[in-house]
Structure 1
């Protein structure tokens, strides 16, 4: 399944809202099913070094069965 820009933006918005709700400052990367970057946001006060970590987590999550990926 291809991920549209609109879908990627929706995912980013929901993830930002959740992060704000629980009081954390995060970097959020959204990848398509091929592992290619579709969207990214770094919240104010989020660690810059975590940018690569956010990208890497998503890339490797694509290789896990979906039942092993936790819900945010």
Structure 2
């Protein structure tokens, strides 16, 4: 099986949405509510940080492959 490069943005986005789903599930099981005024901005901040991390990783990876030893 061929190894592929890590897609950091997709990994962070998947983890973030999984965490949000678990928070809502636990809140529903405990008869609690989740404040959407907090969840939505935190989601956007997390996606922004994931995009930034993915971009930095891509630039770093691209810079490494351009150099010849």
TM-score (ref. length: structure 2): 0.38
Q: Which has the higher strand share?
A: 1
Q: Which has the higher helix share?
A: 2
Give 1 or 2 for the bigger CA radius of gyration: 2
TM-score (ref. length: structure 1): 0.37
